[in-house]
Structure 1
Amino acid sequence: MTTARPSSEGRAVARTQTLLPGKDGIGTVRRTTLPGGLRIVTETLPSVRSATFGIWAHVGSRDETPSLNGATHYLEHLLFKGTHKRSALDISAAIDAVGGEMNAFTAKEYTCYYARVLDTDLPLAIDVVCDMLTGALVLEEDVDAERGVILEEIAMTEDDPGDVVHDLFAQTMFGDTPLGRPVLGTVDTVNALTRGQIARFYKKHYDPTHLVVAAAGNVDHATVVRQVRRAFEKAGALTRTDAVPVAPRDGHRVIRTAGRVEHLNRRTEQAHVVLGMPGLARTDERRWALGVLNTALGGGMSSRLFQEVREKRGLAYSVYSYTSGFADCGLFGVYAGCRPNQVHDVLRICRDELDKVASEGLTDEEIVRAVGQLRGSTVLGLEDTGALMNRIGKSELCWGTQMSVDDMLTRIAAVTPDDVRAVARDVLDQRPSLSVIGPLKDKQADRLHQAVS
């Protein structure tokens, strides 16, 4: 259903659509597109007393040039530092005073700012978050002060090799490209960023056409639209009445990296390894089968890798597989943390299992169990308003469509053993690459190439 109506004040027309009808008004998802190109999506859940409000920006670290690496994340911090209406203390105190939670996160392809509050305090959350997004000052003194905070965050991350190894793997697979560089930036790039660079980045990427507003919980769609529109109009952010939203990302990037090995020698108690290969883009229809494959291979305590590496041989405490899907490409990886002298045994077992699944597939029993596990985890992961806001906001930004939970469960249940075996051949039958962090001796490090040969 689509409706278009002018406001009582004669303003330009907004277009509203019901994307998912829900049942008896529960779970109804609606979208309104304002004349300035701002999209507002809501999911109504009257049975709860909370609401989560978020704004998604169509910008991530892959939009940065080498000299701007870390600018997206830097800007995320600066939007909390104050606006024309509020100081940094005012922003945090407003949400703290009603017992709410407020945060943000930056990824490679998007950024999100959100607040979770009682339903009665939703107008406050809308006003605060909209003010941050439209009225940030990005002052020189704030840029200088926050630089130290971000450098500390980089240092904190560097102290956790279990995190760093995933950045190293992205670099191994993508090289010196936007997808291969760290979201946080580096010490050198953060130190080099100027107020002018960040301010220009803000102006370019935080236009309403690049934003999606999402709210979920005990919310009324028309009320949310009215409050958001008022906040953006007060900030003078909806002046382009002919503007249209930017389309979801697309592209045809092909990852051709194979057999690359990166080793970072550090004096850690464990060696941290990621063995992986190109995966699937997030729009690839085979992603449902890949999700089942990932779950069966390394997604739980009954998964093949967990059983073979940890349960049967006791070689690692943590071992799992994962997928990352971007607009035009993806990654499939296996992570393990183990004692340095057991790295080669762990890699041999992981490689053997990947090769075996690529050539023989999984058993029907493994696939049935993985389908059930994935269906259950999908539903359990959407049991709070924050998760619902994430789902509808990211879906609008990345796909431009919404899929109901029932439709998602249907797609997972429809995956057949043949589908899983086919995607296993497509993905796992590629020569992998490897990233390792740990105190390996020279002979051990030299042998790492055997795992990808």
Structure 2
Amino acid sequence: MTSRSSRTTARTSSEARAVARTQTLLRGRDGVGTVRRTTLPGGLRVVTETLPSVRSATFGIWAHVGSRDETPTLNGATHYLEHLLFKGTAKRSALDISAALDAVGGEMNAFTAKEYTCYYARVLDTDLPLAIDVVCDMLTGSTIEPEDVEAERGVILEEIAMTEDDPGDCVHDLFAHTMLGDSPVGRPVLGTVDTVNALSRDQIARFYKRHYDPTRLVVAAAGNVDHARVVRQVRSVFEKAGALGRTDAEPTGPRTGSRAVRAAGRVEVLGRKTEQAHVILGMPGLARTDDRRWAMGVLNTALGGGMSSRLFQEVREKRGLAYSVYSYTSSFADCGLFGVYAGCRPNQVHDVLKICRAELDQVAEAGLTDDEIGRAIGQLSGATVLGLEDTGALMNRIGKSELCWGEQMSVDDMLARIAAVTPDEVRALAHDILGQRPSLSVIGPLKDKQAARLHDTVA
């Protein structure tokens, strides 16, 4: 038998756990740029960044689910669900949802990635309560009606067709497949025509119930916002929807693990009747949490991140072989990719690839000059600050940071980490990353002999 005092102690402990926990993560100057986090009973996190000088606010909800959480038969379900949450709730029709934000001049949208999904609205600061109510209602109360599933299926198939018609976009999906194969990270976010056609309403509804738990959500707001008021409004909507669940539930932590990418020397060619050939030459990169990511940013910027970069100068400025040429990185929780993209005339593919491979090999062996590294640090620092000059970018930063890293870093700290990168660190990383045998993805109207010669590029 449980004693009365024991029951009282247990109830008191439960009530203590049910209290919202608030922390100041970053202290701004005179309240500007202060970042706070409140964890509500049920495991829902609310993070805000306050900028009293602006007249707008961006509100978003980040879900800890992306296309890598899908089985092969569910490929495309995360993105499908993203569309369906705009189709109506018990309180609002699809028209009600869009009309509510249109009536106040707001903007609302969403995006799905391989490891997360985000729904957001940008409004005048006075209309933030409306944005909170609408977006939270969408996340907690979607009805996923069968007729909406069928109607939206056609929309998504059109989106897939639109991507297929843009080889400059499609080649990135091909490169992910070349490097990662038929794995959850290697499959396309949109799914395929076959998988989207096969998805049922019940499958999507189960996926929604399983992954849109409050412990897997992060609410983020930035702009002229009051943290306590945002928390109260969010909590009210979630509680009315019965969506907070167990009061002692804890938030889901960042993804962890280690995935080795072994794709050396692979070549994939997709024949298309296009005016240009679209190529990506690349190799394994760094995971999102790798401490060398700051040096990777500098290396990527110097190699192909701007008009003064090695690749831009060699391929476009000196030889005029391509209009668009750049390098980029894709980082996930457990692995990463580094790629060099170029779009060129089909008869110049081999010349472009030869130059790109030569530059990668040279930088791997000899490194970048001190001047190139210094210029890249300046460029990356400026881009970091300029990219955070609107409330949408700030909301993205704090929301993604909470979801993917579980912590916040101030802009000053970010700039300090970039400035602290040394030439020796960049050269060592260049040797490790660029010294690997590359793989290659190509979309374009290449003839058989041209395609056969592509293997020489990755030999």
**Which category of TM-score, normalised to the shorter sequence, fits these structures?**
over 0.9
One of 233, 237, 241 as aligned partner of 1:235: 241
Match in the other structure for 1:193: 199
Match in the other structure for 2:390: 384
**Structure 1 stretches lacking a partner, 5+ long:** 1-5
Identity of aligned residues (%): 86
One of 438, 441, 447 as aligned partner of 2:447: 441
Aligned AA for 1:41? Answer: V
**How far apart are the structure 1 equivalents of 2:244 and 2:318?**
61
Aligned AA for 2:446? Answer: L
Match in the other structure for 2:99: 93
One of 75, 79, 96 as aligned partner of 1:73: 79
Please, which moves more after superposition, 218-227 or 231-240? 231-240
Deviation, 1:11, is 10
Aligned AA for 1:170? Answer: A
Match in the other structure for 1:177: 183
For the pair 1:452 / 2:433, whether they are aligned, the reply is no
- Paired residues in the alignment total 446
Match in the other structure for 2:147: 141
One of 342, 363, 367 as aligned partner of 2:373: 367
Deviation, 1:376, is 0.1
Deviation sequence 1:183-234 (CA, Å, 0-9, x none):
0000000000000000000000000000000000000000000000000000
Aligned AA for 1:240? Answer: R
Equivalent residues of 2:214, 2:245 under 8 A apart:
no
For the pair 1:40 / 2:46, whether they are aligned, the reply is yes
For the pair 1:277 / 2:249, whether they are aligned, the reply is no
For the pair 1:399 / 2:400, whether they are aligned, the reply is no
What are the residue-to-residue correspondences of 1:199-238 with 2, within 5 Å?
Answer: 199-238=205-244
Match in the other structure for 2:6: none
For the pair 1:129 / 2:135, whether they are aligned, the reply is yes
For the pair 1:268 / 2:251, whether they are aligned, the reply is no
Match in the other structure for 1:3: none
TM-score scaled to structure 2, two decimals? 0.96
Q: Report the secondary structure of 1:42's partner residue.
A: strand
Deviation, 1:411, is 0.2
What are the residue-to-residue correspondences of 1:158-173 with 2, within 5 Å?
Answer: 158-173=164-179
Deviation, 1:256, is 1.2
Deviation sequence 1:84-119 (CA, Å, 0-9, x none):
000000000000000000000000000000000000
Runs of 4+ in 1 over 6 A off after TM superposition: none
Match in the other structure for 2:437: 431
For the pair 1:157 / 2:163, whether they are aligned, the reply is yes
Deviation, 1:257, is 1.2
Aligned AA for 2:249? Answer: A
Aligned AA for 1:256? Answer: R
Match in the other structure for 2:361: 355
**Structure 2 stretches lacking a partner, 5+ long:** 1-11
**How far apart are the structure 2 equivalents of 1:400 and 1:12?**
21
Aligned AA for 1:440? Answer: L
One of 285, 291, 295 as aligned partner of 2:301: 295
For the pair 1:62 / 2:68, whether they are aligned, the reply is yes
Deviation, 1:12, is 2.9
**How far apart are the structure 2 equivalents of 1:443 and 1:11?**
68
Deviation sequence 1:105-149 (CA, Å, 0-9, x none):
000000000000000000000000000000000111000000000
**How far apart are the structure 1 equivalents of 2:36 and 2:245?**
24
Equivalent residues of 2:283, 2:436 under 8 A apart:
yes
